[in-house]
């Protein structure tokens, strides 16, 4: 009962603040308005490349390739336009769309935009997959209140109704669909996106790599559930190569994967979603209890990165993994050394703690903006775009609009 009372008070505070009824005297703080960067070690201050500095570090004739995917909650195609506007505002240059093509036949798409700067170019491929879960969300609209176009005939508190419609029926449905057999179209789309990012092309459900097709450098930007999509896809592409009759397949996948230099995880959910395991369909009845897994998908994928680097025999610096987390984001997790399965020499992990909104009375932060407020956090986008130097001022991008959480009207 005490926990229920505390949550009731917290929601009342958040509801009042979001509705504009909070008094000016309400006590609040933003503890990580200036982000805190965890040092990877005592000898490593945590300096890391942003997309711009990584691109500028490459040979003049080389181009940086970026794979970027969204997470849960409905994201229309305009999501790509938003991210490109923010990226260009952060690093300058001019942008143009190079290609837009469907992935599968159910509405997922890959769009590639190029940012041209004075000394380099950055090619960003965005995977948009919200259309793949739209039918399952449509099946739940009957549960919306009449003022939201549904048929729910009973009294439901306004805040609870918004949480049900936004957090559960829109956002959590993505997680449920992806984790089960109905998520196969999402998994196929992510596999094609990963194949494309590594310089390959899907033919007959197989990732084919032309000689010399891998990028000079690859960066991954994953938002929320997107980290799980991309990591699962990497496992599938590698496994398919191992099963291929083509003995050069593994080497070509390894070369493409070894091109990865940076991972930027925004509201990373891998540690939570690893609990689902990898078996989703066709499992046989087993009368004996299953022991908890001793490994996770996250460890398996990081292990693949290490194997790929050895197979490709590329002498390059460790992959830097940057995980942005608001401690009050209920759906975000840090990356820690235990996730690397002993392959620490191949990775640097830099956790960045941020505050995406105010914390009231040291008690509650709005859960919606805590989770989806990273992209309008001026320091998060500044560091993603320009990097971080422990000896210099934190980069910050001013003028980024707060567009609100996508289809997540929970507390508005």
HEC readout, 128-178: ECHHHCHHHHHCCHHHCEHHHCCCECCCCCHHHHHHHHHHHHHHHHHHHHH
Distance CA 22, CA 14 (A): 9
| Residue 155 contacts residue 95 (beta carbons within 8 Å) | no
| Residue 374 contacts residue 380 (beta carbons within 8 Å) | yes
HEC readout, 342-397: CCHHHEEEEEEECCCCCEECCCEECHHHHHHCHHHCHHHHHHHHHEECCCCCCCCC
Domain boundaries, the chain: 31-273+294-388
- How high is the pLDDT of residue 195? 93
Q: Tens-digit pLDDT profile for the chain (412 aa)?
A: 445 444 454 555 555 555 554 555 567 788 888 999 998 888 889 999 999 999 999 988 888 999 999 999 999 989 999 999 999 988 989 999 999 999 988 899 999 999 999 888 999 999 999 999 999 999 998 888 777 667 888 888 887 788 788 888 999 999 999 999 999 999 999 999 999 999 888 877 778 877 767 888 999 999 999 999 999 999 999 888 888 777 778 888 888 898 999 999 999 888 888 887 765 444 444 555 555 555 567 888 888 888 888 877 666 788 999 999 999 988 889 988 878 766 678 888 999 999 988 888 777 888 888 888 888 888 998 999 999 999 998 888 877 776 666 544 433 3
Q: What is the pTM of this model?
A: 0.88
Q: Which residues face 398 on adjacent strands?
A: none
- How high is the pLDDT of residue 187? 94
């Amino acid at each position: 009962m005490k926990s229920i009372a505390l949550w009731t008070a917290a929601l009342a505070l958040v509801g009042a603040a979001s509705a504009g009824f909070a008094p000016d005297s309400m006590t609040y703080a933003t503890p990580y308005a200036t982000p805190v960067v965890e040092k990877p070690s005592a000898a490593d201050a945590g300096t890391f490349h942003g997309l711009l500095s990584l691109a500028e570090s490459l040979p003049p004739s080389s181009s940086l390739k970026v794979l970027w995917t969204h997470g849960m909650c409905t994201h229309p195609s305009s999501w790509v336009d938003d991210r490109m506007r923010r990226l260009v505002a952060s690093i300058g240059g001019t942008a143009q769309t190079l290609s837009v093509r469907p992935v599968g036949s159910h509405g997922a798409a890959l769009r590639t935009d190029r940012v041209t700067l004075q000394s380099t170019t950055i090619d960003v491929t965005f995977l948009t997959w919200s259309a793949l879960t739209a039918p399952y969300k449509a099946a739940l609209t009957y549960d919306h209140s009449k003022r939201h176009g549904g048929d729910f005939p009973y009294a439901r508190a306004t805040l609870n109704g918004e949480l049900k419609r936004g957090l559960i029926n829109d956002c959590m449905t993505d997680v449920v669909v992806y984790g089960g057999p109905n998520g196969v179209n999402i998994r196929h789309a992510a596999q094609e996106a990963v194949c494309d990012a590594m310089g390959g092309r899907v033919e007959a459900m197989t990732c084919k790599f032309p000689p010399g097709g891998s990028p000079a450098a690859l960066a991954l930007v994953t938002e929320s559930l997107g980290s799980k999509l991309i990591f699962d896809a990497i496992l599938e592409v590698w496994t398919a190569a191992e099963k291929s009759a083509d003995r050069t397949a593994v080497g070509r996948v390894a070369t493409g994967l070894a091109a990865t230099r940076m991972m930027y995880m925004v509201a990373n959910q891998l540690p939570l979603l690893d609990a689902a395991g990898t078996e989703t369909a066709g499992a046989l009845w087993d009368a004996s209890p299953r022991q908890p897994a001793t490994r996770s998908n996250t460890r398996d994928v990081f292990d693949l990165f290490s194997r790929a680097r050895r197979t490709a025999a590329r002498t390059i610096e460790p992959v830097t993994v940057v995980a942005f987390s608001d401690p009050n984001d209920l759906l975000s997790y840090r990356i820690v050394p235990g996730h690397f399965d002993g392959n620490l020499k191949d990775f640097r992990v830099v956790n960045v703690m941020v505050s995406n909104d105010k914390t009231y009375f040291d008690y509650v932060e709005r859960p919606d903006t805590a989770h989806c407020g990273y992209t309008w956090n001026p320091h998060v986008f500044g560091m993603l775009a320009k990097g971080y130097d422990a000896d210099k001022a934190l980069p910050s991008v001013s003028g980024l609009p707060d567009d609100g959480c996508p289809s997540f009207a929970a507390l508005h």
